[in-house]
Chain A
């Protein structure tokens, strides 16, 4: 036999409901409410039953009135975590559901409003989500840092990750002057985010009284992160408040970083929400900045080491080139002088120690004069070379090559009136060259004279000259009539040409050295292109300015 249960009235049941529940009629008059609901709003049951919702809550938004209307018309509406801003400034998260109740005739008798404050659980949930987001950001930034070898790309990628995963509005990174002193500026070198225009013309003058007290300058000077969680409440930030608000940024953190050589840099992150930089977020971002600084240091050390290696290689290369140049110079001097001195010694020995026929004696006496003349020419060429060596030639001018070679031909004719030159020029690629005209003229003249001397007294000499532009260099190419030969890879081409082709000419080798010195002092390069069965080409190269 079942025990009979006395069913309490609706009002009694409602009062005992373990949730915040209120029941209204179609006019939104309160029919019944739970104790939970009453105590939440500080109401006493007897005082509020029968009262209209809108008189109990006079400040209610139009949005809620619409919800009520829709539910009274039969709809059921709910929200899992609605946020309510309380009069004391706090936030409450509420799960609510509004559903119509029906009378016996199935007609809608009003609505039941169920609500549950879930602020505590929602706060924990949001906090967990935030932590996951921050750890994800930290992890992703770590991935970027360890997978990017170039500091420029790495900084760019870190800035992107901070925005994409951190959910911030804007980020920028900049280097500070080293050491921090007056008249120095800090400005964004890398930036990313949706409020980039906030950084238009943005720079921090560390000498400016106002700017040097701003959060970023303070972070750099103190070496500690500076957080402003609400710009509108910060006196320090007031000079930039209007600009920040107009770009929807409300909070910032400036994270200073120290690099190995004392270089300082800063990472500034901005949020569109006030108060986001709590202690947990600051801690995560500080760890991010430490990782970032570590990676920058590693890259910098790698870079410094590479630069040192490059400098060392260059030094060795320069020294070997200089050594080779000195060897060439020593060779040329010793060979040209020594050859003539050997000739003089030989003739002198014959004349003094041997009995010569009258014809032989006359011939050898003539040789003495010729040797002396050649020696004199060697000394003069050497003197010219030494004059040029090591002196900067700075009278830069725009040279019309066609015109210059016409002048050269005329000069040539004046020097060697009996030698006819067939000068073939092609300056269709480059007709103007910026360098010192006097010395370029001199270098070309010496080369052309060498060509003629080398033609073994032919009365007609053909000289081809052309210009070209390649690999950011302008080339002037002068072709000798002699066939070249295969050059040894380890041998300097000019040196080989001296020794092979021109050393037998009077002062010829010194003249090539003279041309080389002139061109190099003008900032150019003098080289030779020698191939078997092809004419030798002398190349004069200058950077294409």
Chain B
């Protein structure tokens, strides 16, 4: 199960990525973890690698408030990506903001699968993955019908 996922961490504060990396490594030791402090590079990586992903599903943990390109700008650019990329990717906003306006805005975006509060924990990442698997199973059953 764990080999099916590649985690993309996008946060301008390197230490936040470090903390997330520890949690991910502990829970999904065989998964790939790619870290970006520059969201632009994260977008480029997704565009170049997620189109032909075979069986790998990409889980992006996206911070919101970042300089120059913030999470909202990231999502605006992501909207222009093709459907195949979007099918192979799930985006979860991982923010320290407890502002309801931020969580509302994030969950209102059709490309965002969920909003989670920092820090990333074992429980949180397992819930995220479980939710993705349920979604994939549901999609599989619907396609067989």
Say if the beta carbon of A503 comes within 8 Å of chain B. yes
CA distance A346 to B70 in the complex (A): 22
Q: Is the beta-carbon distance between A350 and B22 smaller than 8 angstroms? A: yes
CA distance A505 to B140 in the complex (A): 45
Q: Which of B46-54, B85-93, B113-121 lies at the binding interface?
A: B113-121
- State which of A341, A350, A503 has its C-beta within 8 Å of the C-beta of B65: A503
Most chain A C-beta atoms within 10 Å of own C-beta, residue among B13, B20, B97: B97
CB-contacts of A324-379 with B (<8 A): 327, 330-331, 334-335, 338-339, 341-343, 345-347, 349-350, 353-354, 356, 360, 363, 367, 370
Tell me the smallest distance from the CB of A460 to a CB of chain B, in Å. Answer: 21
CB-contacts of A481-500 with B (<8 A): 485, 499-500
Contacts A335-B65, A338-B97, A500-B68 given; indicate if A353 touches B118 (C-beta within 8 A): no
* Identity of the chain B residue whose Cβ is nearest the Cβ of A348 in the assembled complex: B119
CA distance A349 to B16 in the complex (A): 13
* Identity of the chain B residue whose Cβ is nearest the Cβ of A483 in the assembled complex: B68
* Identity of the chain B residue whose Cβ is nearest the Cβ of A337 in the assembled complex: B96
Q: Is the beta-carbon distance between B119 and A342 smaller than 8 angstroms? A: yes
Tell me the smallest distance from the CB of A466 to a CB of chain B, in Å. Answer: 25
* B26 neighbours in A (Cβ, 8 Å): 354
Q: Is the beta-carbon distance between A504 and B66 smaller than 8 angstroms? A: yes
Say if the beta carbon of A501 comes within 8 Å of chain B. yes
Contacts A367-B15, A500-B67, A504-B13 given; indicate if A346 touches B119 (C-beta within 8 A): yes
Q: Is the beta-carbon distance between B23 and A350 smaller than 8 angstroms? A: yes
Q: Is the beta-carbon distance between B12 and A334 smaller than 8 angstroms? A: no
Q: Is the beta-carbon distance between A499 and B70 smaller than 8 angstroms? A: yes
* B120 neighbours in A (Cβ, 8 Å): 346
* Identity of the chain A residue whose Cβ is nearest the Cβ of B118 in the assembled complex: A342
* Identity of the chain B residue whose Cβ is nearest the Cβ of A371 in the assembled complex: B15
Q: Is the beta-carbon distance between B12 and A343 smaller than 8 angstroms? A: no
Say if the beta carbon of B122 comes within 8 Å of chain A. yes
CB-contacts of B48-93 with A (<8 A): 65-68, 70
* B12 neighbours in A (Cβ, 8 Å): 504
Q: Is the beta-carbon distance between B19 and A347 smaller than 8 angstroms? A: yes
Q: Is the beta-carbon distance between A335 and B97 smaller than 8 angstroms? A: yes
**B contact residues, range:** 20 to 34
CA distance A455 to B118 in the complex (A): 27
Q: Is the beta-carbon distance between B65 and A349 smaller than 8 angstroms? A: no
CB-contacts of B104-145 with A (<8 A): 117-122
CA distance A147 to B26 in the complex (A): 84
- State which of B18, B22, B98, B101 has its C-beta within 8 Å of the C-beta of A338: B98
Q: Is the beta-carbon distance between B19 and A350 smaller than 8 angstroms? A: yes
Q: Is the beta-carbon distance between B118 and A346 smaller than 8 angstroms? A: yes
CA distance A259 to B66 in the complex (A): 62
Say if the beta carbon of B99 comes within 8 Å of chain A. yes
* A338 neighbours in B (Cβ, 8 Å): 96-98
* A339 neighbours in B (Cβ, 8 Å): 96, 118
CA distance A502 to B67 in the complex (A): 7
CB-contacts of A364-411 with B (<8 A): 367, 370
* Identity of the chain A residue whose Cβ is nearest the Cβ of B22 in the assembled complex: A350
Q: Is the beta-carbon distance between A501 and B22 smaller than 8 angstroms? A: no
Residue numbers of A with Cβ under 8 A of B are: 327, 330-331, 334-335, 338-339, 341-343, 345-347, 349-350, 353-354, 356, 360, 363, 367, 370, 485, 499-504
18 A–B pairs (Cβ distance < 8 Å), ordered by A: A331-B97, A331-B99, A334-B98, A335-B97, A338-B96, A339-B96, A342-B117, A343-B19, A346-B120, A347-B19, A349-B119, A350-B19, A363-B18, A367-B18, A499-B65, A500-B67, A501-B67, A504-B65
Knowing that A341-B96, A354-B22 touch, tell me 12 more A-B residue pairs with CB under 8 angstroms.
A334-B98, A338-B98, A342-B96, A342-B117, A343-B15, A343-B16, A345-B118, A346-B16, A347-B19, A350-B19, A363-B18, A499-B65
Closest 4 pairs (CB-CB, A-B): A346-B119, A342-B118, A346-B19, A339-B96
